Chain A
Amino acid sequence: MPSERALRAVSATIAVLGIGVATYITIADSGGGAPACVAGGHGCATVASSSYSHIAGINVAVFGIAGYVLLLAAAALPGDAGRFGGLLLALVGFGFSAYLTYLELFVIHAICQWCVASAVLMTLLLVVNATRTFAHAGAELALGTPASSADRL
């Protein structure tokens, strides 16, 4: 079982990558045009111009930026607040990413590589945050000393 410090570091790194991807999608979409597909794909424009790409007029990727920033904060937060907060955020992020991926595959019939990248990152964040929570929840309840020296940060 990895130490909590390692899990928090991994979570923070993935969250930073997620901020990068979501920011790129937002910027590419805002200036007219669409995120650029690499390697000859064409799905990005179709997905970006579909009705589902925005909620209340705001690009869905903006919600992604907010989610990843909060996940970065949860990784920085020690104790049960960071663990359960991170788990909640990762569950929401994963659930909504799964819904958006379902839309791409079965409703929009086009795949945007950048959306897929974000969905993969969210899935990884769920795995890491769930591991952090299940392995280390309540560690501070140990009387006197922390359950493992790695929890001290």
Chain B
Amino acid sequence: MASRKEQKERLRAERLAREAREQSRERRQRLVQYGSAAAFLAIAVVVVLIVVSQSGGGSGGSGTQDASLIEKQLRGIPQHGTVLGDPQAKVTVVEFGDLQCPVCQEFSVQTAPGLISDVVRKGTASYEFRQYTIIGPQSTDAAKAALAAGEQNRYWNFIELFYRNQGTENSGYVTDSFLESIARGAGVPDIAKWNRDRRSSKWDAELAKVQRETQALGINATPTIMVEGPGGNRVVGAGVLPLTQIESAIQSVE
């Protein structure tokens, strides 16, 4: 009797152990199968997302790359001619730049967004871009096109969008059709008027004035940032200056 009971218990224990091993094996199999499927699927989805992200990002040249991003960045901030922001602001951040200049483009994507969002939008300072055309003849065409956009208060949309679609300097890319695509992307309402305005001779005097001003200030590079305030003016420096440096200058001339 006792030995049969023992035997039954032993057999039962062996059966339970076998079943446990089976379960374990099935669970491991399930983990490997479904886990691998999840991993492969995840990689595929991430690759697709990266490819789509890259096709939207990267280099421009199509004329309207980032048009809606620029519009969003500037939405709600007043523009009057070449000045962005509150015209009553005590301090003005002046950028001397050339639209063909690649370092100015760097400044536009690197520092300008924070300057616009954290300083100009808050009314701490206004931001003015003065066309300091030094790179080549097409810089003048670009400058006049931008100034003409300013006649319809889309100067800043034009400049920022131009930088997002900038080509290689002096390669001849600043054609009439390129400039028109920028103007359209910048939301210039009356393109016919813009085309007339940009061919006007009145801009020559404006551009000559900037040349004289930069000479007097000892400026010879783009982009150069100058901060003007009631406390005097100060040339902050050239290149892709960090926003913190510009903010210190603003504080010192307030």
What is the interface of chain A, defined by CB distance below 8 A to chain B? 29-34, 37, 40, 42-46, 48-57, 60, 63, 80, 84, 87-88, 91-92, 95-96, 99, 103, 109-110, 133-134, 137-139, 141-143
Contact = CB atoms under 8 A, between A and B. Distances in A.
B42 A49 contact: no
Contacts of A143: 19, 23
A55 B49 CA distance: 8
Taking each of A45, A50, A80, A91, which has the highest tally of chain B beta carbons within 10 Å of its own beta carbon? A45
Nearest to B72: A32
Contact of A110 (B28, B65, B110, B116): B110
**Dominant secondary structure at the B interface:** helix
Contacts of B73: 32, 34, 45, 49
Interface string B52-75: 110011101000011011101111
12 contacts: A30-B72, A32-B75, A32-B76, A32-B121, A45-B114, A48-B113, A49-B109, A87-B35, A95-B46, A134-B35, A137-B31, A139-B27
Contact of A53 (B28, B69, B110): B69
B216 interface: no
B117 A34 contact: yes
Contact of A34 (B34, B37, B66, B113): B113
Contacts of B109: 46, 49-50
B35 A80 contact: no
Given A42-B242, A99-B46, 4 more contacts: A50-B57, A51-B65, A84-B38, A92-B49
Q: What are the 10 closest A-B residue pairs judged by CB atoms, nearest first? A: A138-B27, A32-B75, A91-B42, A95-B46, A45-B117, A42-B114, A45-B113, A51-B57, A88-B38, A49-B113
B56 A56 contact: yes
Contacts of A99: 46, 49-50, 53
A50 B164 CA distance: 10
Given A34-B113, A134-B31, A57 B26 contact: no
B113 A141 contact: no
Nearest to A87: B38
B2 interface: no
A75 to B, nearest CB: 16
Contacts of A141: 23, 26-27, 30
Contacts of A133: 31, 35
A92 B40 CA distance: 10
Given A84-B38, A88-B41, A88-B42, A138 B31 contact: yes
A45 B118 contact: yes
Given A49-B109, A109-B110, A80 B57 contact: no
B243 interface: yes
A153 B77 CA distance: 54
A48 B66 CA distance: 12
Contact of A91 (B39, B57, B74): B39
Given A33-B121, A42-B114, A138-B30, A54 B56 contact: yes
B251 interface: no
Given A84-B34, A95-B43, A141-B30, A46 B114 contact: yes
A42 B118 contact: yes
Contacts of A34: 73, 113, 117
Contacts of B121: 32-33
A55 B46 CA distance: 13
